[in-house]
Structure 1
């Protein structure tokens, strides 16, 4: 075990912990290390399709909203790659998803604190005042041990599947949209492909399948339990819900009220972009010229209840959410664009008694992103993208990543390194303003 005791150890290197690492880099007196089991930075690599963009403006890079003078801004990335004029002439506000991934790789390669191929296997707290983190190199199987005064968890979310698919996770022709680009052979050789879900990922997958349909000649269906294929709320005042101001308002509500509110906010962050809906409709319209029959069906209001394997593929059984009738559908290939869920990783088992949990066994998270602990110790555990239930719908939003990193850094050092503004929007969410 190394004798060095790090000030902060991060588990996971996604956009949020990478933002934190980049903003910490100029602070020379902080000893930090970030561990990631992947061999290099990869962000939703199964969905890096041509033409897809991130859902926020380029200003929502890793650092700009906290430090626009940082050398890790997206604009500096463009300059370093001789693409400033290319981007200028592109006249787009949103970054292509593949370029965002490459930008993050560029940042991670410059940070000595980022170590890849390191899978964290266990974490314990030592009474002398530090955490012990055990990891294993996924390439060499070599084990390592680290000491750290504080932790930050940035392990992200995992693909969510409806319960009826639990026994089908090993099937080659049933997979989550997160694996879409890795499973192209499955849908290209199928006679019938069915997409389930109605968010942005579902629409992107469906549109790609629709474009490829004339080449591979499969029957294509798109099903969702939602009442329609609706756009995401993207008005300027609606976007103010993704602000530090709304986080503050939401956090100070009772937990029961927070859960109620969040259940009604899906279209603020789970809908489809207007432009993609238009692209899909336009292609359907063009394909149907001359009353040509489409080998496509779009079916809302269908909630999948059962799935069974047949000689020809799979049979899905649905309940129609409004008519309360049951229908079945046969298909060869099923793509589940059913979102993501937060789960507690197994390496946290050693800290279960130290962490305070809420009534639904979720992290009890303080306003400054520290977990509430059961013991009064000088060490902290911060969380990134694991506080949706306490901090609201802005939790997974890339535009708030630099803000959260700023709060964590300021809390860690006990001083304001990165200013955090309290007045960022025009509307007042609470009676006190």
Structure 2
């Protein structure tokens, strides 16, 4: 659906969502049954897609299938992953597969099914600005409808009481590697575009993968599987001290609960910043299964008595990078622990250097005078995912909510799919003031901090007493 339905432009909507990734798609799905909520969502892309360049065969989502768009807030919703399977007559195959973690391509297909069937989503609509209208006491959202070529087709303005930003992340390239991005004739590809350029990469003589997270591991494994034994010519480097597994213990995973999110939000700003860097292994480590698959593939290639032509070096950073002539690349490397330096010449580079939150400043430039910021000039965000704005705005009951842009205030779980439904439900409960989605008061066995509020959990209902059947024989 690309053209919004007729709407009285003088009547403000209850909610405008900007961006349709998993976060706002979850919000739209949970908002759908709320009949009195007038909501619309704009996305500049032509359709929903989720990291299409990383939908590598066999790659799995790192959260269980219950962490879909809605289940952890409303398992009875028609937009659950299980209902997606039922609709496609695939419940029994999924049941017998006995897989708690789905393929990444399947998660993308599930989200696309929701996006294709859910009303209120308008693709090819680019939001240009958000402003506050003090006379009418509403937000103004300016947007441009794009044609199939991405050119402006029509301009529009929507008035709304609430805005939810879900603009997601964008590929990150560290400064030392930026000179490579626009190097003509040299295959330098960010992991986000890996599948699009895989054939070109595989044709290169020597390939270097930069980045020691999950994407780097999956790409290294995929390249390894597509290169002949003895002629792999692959080099994998990363800044971390090891190709380290992701923290996946049961209690470790409780950092991705509402309990921990509330605890983190209440910490002082400087403590939050220290924790954000220190907790890298909770979200930047590598799935143990992927590490095992890499080792298995490397081991298989030693069966003829030789070693594969691969180099795996952690603890290395790229100091500078540039081209040699027009077809080769030179990386200046530094080993962090040894304090040694060397040069690496390669024919192609994959930048598995992660993603970063998209800056909110462009869209929110018109609201800048109203935004309250922290000591690092980042927007302050309250426990209900609302930007702290000037009281002249919030006193009217109008708010700007953010999704997957609040790691500095809400912690490591901000981008995690497992908290998506809870966050969406929290936003809708706050926005409607009616609690359409009752949420649990306690979600972790761990007590984070000495002054955590005591959550009273109601006792389980006692089962009714059963009367034995009388044997009348």
Q: Quickly name the TM-score band, shorter chain normalised.
A: over 0.9
Unaligned runs of 5+ in 2: 1-7, 453-473
Say whether residues 1:368 and 2:375 are aligned partners: no
In the TM superposition, residue 217 of structure 1 has moved relative to its aligned partner by 4.8
Distance 2:179 2:387 in 1: 34
Is contact 2:43-2:122 (8 Å) kept? yes
In the TM superposition, residue 290 of structure 1 has moved relative to its aligned partner by 2.7
Match of 2:424 in 1: 405
Q: Which is higher, the Rg of structure 1 or of structure 2?
A: 2
* Superposed CA RMSD: 1.5
Q: Secondary structure at the residue paired with 1:279?
A: helix
In the TM superposition, residue 233 of structure 1 has moved relative to its aligned partner by 0.7
Match of 2:468 in 1: none
Match of 1:331 in 2: 346
Say whether residues 1:289 and 2:289 are aligned partners: no
Q: Secondary structure at the residue paired with 2:289?
A: helix
Q: In 2 relative to 1, CA 316–188 (structure 1 residues): closer, same or farther, beyond 3 Å?
A: same
Is contact 1:233-1:271 (8 Å) kept? yes
| Equivalent residue runs for 1:236-385 within 5 Å | 236-311=250-325, 312-345=327-360, 346-377=362-393, 378=396, 379-385=398-404
Deviations 1:348-368 (A, max 9, x none): 222222212222222200010
Q: In 2 relative to 1, CA 3–261 (structure 1 residues): closer, same or farther, beyond 3 Å?
A: same
In the TM superposition, residue 4 of structure 1 has moved relative to its aligned partner by 3.7
| Equivalent residue runs for 1:152-301 within 5 Å | 152-171=164-183, 173-214=187-228, 217=231, 219-301=233-315
**How many residues are treated as equivalent by the alignment?**
433
Distance 1:121 1:185 in 2: 36
Greater displacement, 395-404 / 352-361: 352-361
Match of 1:99 in 2: 106
TM-score by length of 1: 0.97
Q: Secondary structure at the residue paired with 2:70?
A: coil
Match of 2:152 in 1: 141
* Selected match of 2:13 from 3, 6, 11: 6
Match of 2:119 in 1: 112
Match of 1:416 in 2: 435
Distance 1:185 1:210 in 2: 13
Greater displacement, 354-363 / 269-278: 354-363
Match of 2:137 in 1: 129
Distance 2:295 2:229 in 1: 19
Unaligned runs of 5+ in 1: none
In the TM superposition, residue 149 of structure 1 has moved relative to its aligned partner by 1.0
Is contact 2:238-2:315 (8 Å) kept? yes
Deviations 1:213-249 (A, max 9, x none): 1199552100011111010010111111110100111
Distance 1:198 1:92 in 2: 26
Distance 1:263 1:393 in 2: 10
Match of 2:55 in 1: 48
In the TM superposition, residue 376 of structure 1 has moved relative to its aligned partner by 2.3
Distance 1:393 1:290 in 2: 45
Deviations 1:137-189 (A, max 9, x none): 23252222211111000001111111012233223511210110111233022
| Equivalent residue runs for 1:75-90 within 5 Å | 75-90=82-97
In the TM superposition, residue 303 of structure 1 has moved relative to its aligned partner by 0.6
Is contact 1:228-1:300 (8 Å) kept? yes
In the TM superposition, residue 422 of structure 1 has moved relative to its aligned partner by 1.9
TM-score by length of 2: 0.89
Deviations 1:384-433 (A, max 9, x none): 00110111101011010010011100110112111121211111111134
Greater displacement, 168-177 / 255-264: 168-177
In the TM superposition, residue 374 of structure 1 has moved relative to its aligned partner by 2.7
